[in-house]
């Protein structure tokens, strides 16, 4: 197995967390890919890091490299493609404000013993790792007051989870509404893992997320939507298609802690408004779709799901051009 780590960053090569990742990736023999953007320093050079400036990205043999917008988190898609082209069979992604614990580097398996949610509707996964009232970014506000299912009522056993979301301590991934109204930091407890299967929803992010090869196509981050929604809406599409493959999405204990980069919370709030007003409906629309069962139909299902998001006007129509380029580029790596 070959594992690679992907980060997108506009920081300089003195950034302490990037340096820590470079050092630890070298120790663990994990290729480390950093995708830059137009605001990245021109002279970035960090030992142990495969850095790709925007100019260098243009040399890639990928159609997506030529048409992905700049100044958008979705340029991380190019990092995924680079790692896949280089032979990666497992990808782990995070951000430059997350600090890894030793558990971050431990090997993972697809089959995981966990509490299994099916036909459960909206599941506030944070609820099962803390006594604090807290919810993940992207969770519909309309669903926050609903009572959560007791774990003792669920089946516990091994399930296939090629997508695995780790939590983050201290400054967990929450929305601006939470940050403006509740205190932080919070550290999650180490609890038993939970897996969400068919007809069970929870957002997951791109901050501490592990992907096995069979799910790589679902990593696609949309460009024609808010920066604060790209990984969240990706997660909804990924979950919906995972159901057709017989997969669950795993949520597990924190293996990083976050020292959050500076944010304007009111700007975050503004950028999250499309989520606050559409998250619930997006998932209703995705759930109502008739998709094809089986991993061999993943590309078809991606097109169907994103076409629906375009049709309901939450993602711009130009997204389809990028998505088809992503699929075409992935096929070149097969």
Query: Is the Cβ–Cβ distance between 87 and 2 less than 8 Å?
Result: yes
Which SS3 state, helix, strand or coil, does residue 45 take?
coil
Residue 111, strand partner residues: 160
pLDDT in tens, 267-301: 999 999 999 999 999 999 999 999 999 999 999 99
CA distances from 79 to 4, 29, 50, 57, 255 (A): 10, 18, 10, 9, 22
pLDDT value at 1 more than 80: no
170 Rama class: left (phi>0) / alpha (psi -120 to 50) / beta: left
What's the structural domain count of the chain?
1
For residue 43, being part of any structural domain is answered with: no
Look at residue 262 in the predicted model and tell me its pLDDT.
84
Q: Other C-beta atoms within 10 Å of 111: how many?
A: 11
Which SS3 state, helix, strand or coil, does residue 143 take?
helix
For residue 272, being part of any structural domain is answered with: yes
Structure tokens at 17: 């967390």
Q: Give the rounded percent of residues in the chain with a pLDDT score beyond 70.
A: 100
Look at residue 209 in the predicted model and tell me its pLDDT.
98
Look at residue 334 in the predicted model and tell me its pLDDT.
85
Exposed, middle or buried, 43 (CB in 10 Å: 0-12/13-18/19+)? Answer: exposed
For residue 65, being part of any structural domain is answered with: no
pLDDT value at 23 more than 90: yes
Compute the average pLDDT of residues 54-81: 96
For residue 306, being part of any structural domain is answered with: yes
Q: Give pairs for 177-180: CB < 8 Å, separation 24+.
A: 177/141, 177/269, 177/272, 177/276, 178/134, 178/135, 179/265, 179/268, 180/265, 180/269
pLDDT bucket at 33, cuts 50 / 70 / 90: very high
For residue 2, being part of any structural domain is answered with: no
Question: Which residues are CB-contacts of 196 (< 8 A; sequence separation ≥ 6)?
Answer: 117, 120, 123, 125, 202, 239, 248, 249, 251
pLDDT value at 35 more than 80: yes
For residue 277, being part of any structural domain is answered with: yes
Which residues span the domain enclosing 328? 97-333
pLDDT in tens, 120-177: 999 999 999 999 999 999 999 999 999 999 999 999 999 999 999 999 999 999 999 9
- Sign of the torsion formed by the C-alpha atoms of 321, 83, 66 and 315: positive
For residue 33, being part of any structural domain is answered with: no
Compute the average pLDDT of residues 231-251: 98
For residue 87, being part of any structural domain is answered with: no
CA atoms within 13 A on the CB side of 52: 22
Q: Give the rounded percent of residues in the chain with a pLDDT score beyond 90.
A: 97
State the residue for tokens 């896949």.
84
Would you give the DSSP letter of residue 173? S
């Amino acid at each position: 197995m070959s594992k690679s780590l992907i980060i997108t960053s506009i920081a300089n090569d003195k950034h302490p967390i990037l340096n820590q990742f470079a050092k630890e990736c070298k120790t663990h023999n994990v290729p480390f890919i950093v995708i830059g953007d137009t605001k990245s320093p021109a002279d970035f050079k960090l030992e142990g890091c495969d850095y790709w400036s925007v100019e260098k990205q243009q040399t890639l043999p990928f159609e997506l490299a030529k048409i992905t917008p700049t100044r958008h988190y979705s340029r991380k898609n190019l990092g995924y493609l680079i790692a896949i082209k280089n032979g990666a069979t497992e990808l782990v992604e995070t951000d430059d404000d997350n600090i890894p614990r030793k558990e971050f580097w431990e090997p993972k398996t697809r089959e995981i013993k966990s509490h299994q949610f099916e036909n459960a509707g909206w599941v506030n996964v944070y609820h099962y790792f803390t006594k604090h009232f807290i919810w993940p970014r992207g969770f519909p506000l309309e669903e926050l007051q609903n009572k959560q299912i007791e774990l003792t009522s669920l089946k516990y056993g091994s399930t296939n989870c090629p997508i695995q979301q780790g939590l983050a301590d201290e400054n967990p991934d929450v929305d601006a509404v939470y940050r403006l109204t509740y205190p932080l930091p919070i550290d999650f407890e180490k609890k038993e893992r939970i897996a969400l299967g068919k007809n069970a929803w929870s957002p997951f992010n791109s901050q501490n997320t592990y992907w096995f090869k069979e799910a790589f196509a679902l990593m696609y981050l949309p460009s024609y939507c808010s920066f604060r929604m790209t990984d969240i809406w990706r997660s909804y599409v990924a979950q919906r298609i995972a159901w057709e493959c017989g997969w669950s999405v795993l949520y597990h204990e924190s293996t990083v802690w976050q020292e959050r980069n500076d944010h304007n919370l009111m700007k975050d709030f503004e950028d999250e408004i499309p989520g606050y007003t559409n998250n619930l409906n997006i998932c209703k629309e995705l759930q109502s779709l008739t998709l094809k069962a089986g991993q061999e139909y993943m590309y078809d299902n991606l097109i169907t799901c994103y076409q629906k998001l375009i049709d309901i006007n939450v993602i711009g129509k130009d997204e389809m051009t990028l998505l088809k380029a992503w699929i075409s580029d992935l096929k070149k790596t097969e």
